[in-house]
């Protein structure tokens, strides 16, 4: 008699293969831009939301003009100085926020007394809307890169901190007991037990942290800057140039995806010890 298939096995068979998945993802993206083009270019469809079909293009832009603006930026090189500033702010905020969240999260997770003392203050700082700190950082650090990096750090830090803290606290007591029986020192426990346990939580948070680092950089450029992609978007909004606004958004989104892909590659390289889903299902 044939054994019933498990739900995980059925789900694994129902999932598309990687090649087909990428094709469908590209087709969805193409369909989105085609729909955007059809709905915003006057004359293709009769007006159904706006009385004047040209108003749709004014409010939502036209994808062909958006791509033309992106091509103009990169072909002339006008965007490179601005893009470099925004990427540099993002990378600095991402690295500083991640490292500080990792270090402080490990320290508080391994020190119950310090954790109890700092707990209400950590929760209070986390509950504070960090965007309101942007004007304060501008006063403290000026309108240069430092104020944008500081804002991005506050957005990244707490995501990494809480994931590291929870990852250390979730270490199996049995694993700790066995390591201590084998004579593991405190440093060995930190290196071989606590850090590996925390790293899986850390990488889960880094994918969100990349986007938030971009948010910190762009919001800071909105409030006061003379460089950066956020500055270009702000200038375009001031002149009601919606196509340039969407062009800047698409450029930022593309580079955020590139950084997220780099995080994924780093995760695969450093987390080779972690079994994959298919391997755990066969065990």
User: What residues are paired with 42 via a beta bridge?
Assistant: 45
Contact at 8 Å (CB) between 38 and 60? no
Q: What angle do CA 228, 230, 232 make, to 5 degrees?
A: 75
- Whole-model pTM above 0.75? no
Percent of the chain with pLDDT strictly greater than 90:
0
pLDDT in tens, 128-174: 887 788 888 888 887 788 888 888 888 888 888 888 877 776 666 66
Going by pLDDT thresholds of 50, 70 and 90, the confidence category of residue 65 is: confident
Instruction: Name the residue with tokens 């003009």.
Output: 65
What structural domains and CATH numbers belong to the chain? 9-60 (no CATH), 74-270 (1.10.3720.10)
Contact at 8 Å (CB) between 125 and 158? yes
Nearest alpha carbon to residue 70 among 57, 79, 62: 79
Contact at 8 Å (CB) between 161 and 106? no
What pLDDT does 267 receive? 67
Q: How far apart are CA 52 and CA 107, in angstroms?
A: 61
Percent of the chain with pLDDT strictly greater than 70:
70
Evaluated on CA atoms 198, 200, 202, 204, the torsion sign reads: negative
Query: What is the radius of gyration, based on Cα positions, of the chain?
Result: 24
The mean pLDDT value for 57-77 works out to: 82
Q: How far apart are CA 58 and CA 64, in angstroms?
A: 14
Tokens matching residue 108: 């508080």
């Amino acid at each position: 008699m044939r054994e019933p298939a498990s739900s995980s096995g059925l789900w694994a068979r129902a999932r598309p293969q990687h090649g087909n998945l990428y094709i469908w993802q590209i087709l969805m993206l193409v369909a989105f831009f085609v729909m955007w083009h059809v709905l915003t270019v006057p004359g293709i469809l009769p007006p159904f939301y706006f009385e004047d079909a040209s108003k749709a293009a004014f409010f939502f832009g036209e994808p062909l003009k958006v791509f033309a603006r992106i091509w103009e930026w990169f072909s002339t090189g006008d965007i490179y100085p601005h893009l470099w500033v925004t990427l540099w702010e993002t990378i600095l905020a991402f690295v500083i926020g991640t490292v500080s969240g990792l270090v402080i999260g490990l320290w508080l997770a391994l020190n119950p007394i310090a954790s109890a003392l700092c707990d209400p203050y950590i929760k209070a700082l986390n509950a504070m809307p960090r965007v309101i700190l942007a004007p304060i950082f501008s006063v403290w650090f000026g309108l240069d890169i430092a104020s944008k990096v500081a804002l991005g750090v506050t957005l990244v830090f707490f995501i990494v901190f809480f994931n590291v803290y929870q990852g250390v606290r979730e270490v199996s007591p049995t694993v700790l007991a066995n390591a201590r029986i084998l004579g593991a020192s405190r440093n060995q426990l930190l290196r071989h037990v606590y850090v590996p346990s925390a790293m899986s939580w850390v990488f889960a948070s880094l994918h969100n942290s990349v986007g938030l680092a971009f948010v910190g950089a762009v919001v800071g450029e909105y409030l006061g800057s003379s460089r950066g992609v956020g500055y270009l978007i702000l200038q375009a909004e001031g002149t009601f140039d919606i196509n340039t606004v969407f062009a800047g958004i698409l450029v930022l989104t593309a580079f955020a995806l590139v950084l997220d892909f780099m995080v994924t590659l780093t995760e695969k390289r450093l987390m080779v010890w972690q079994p994959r889903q298919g391997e755990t299902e066969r065990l």
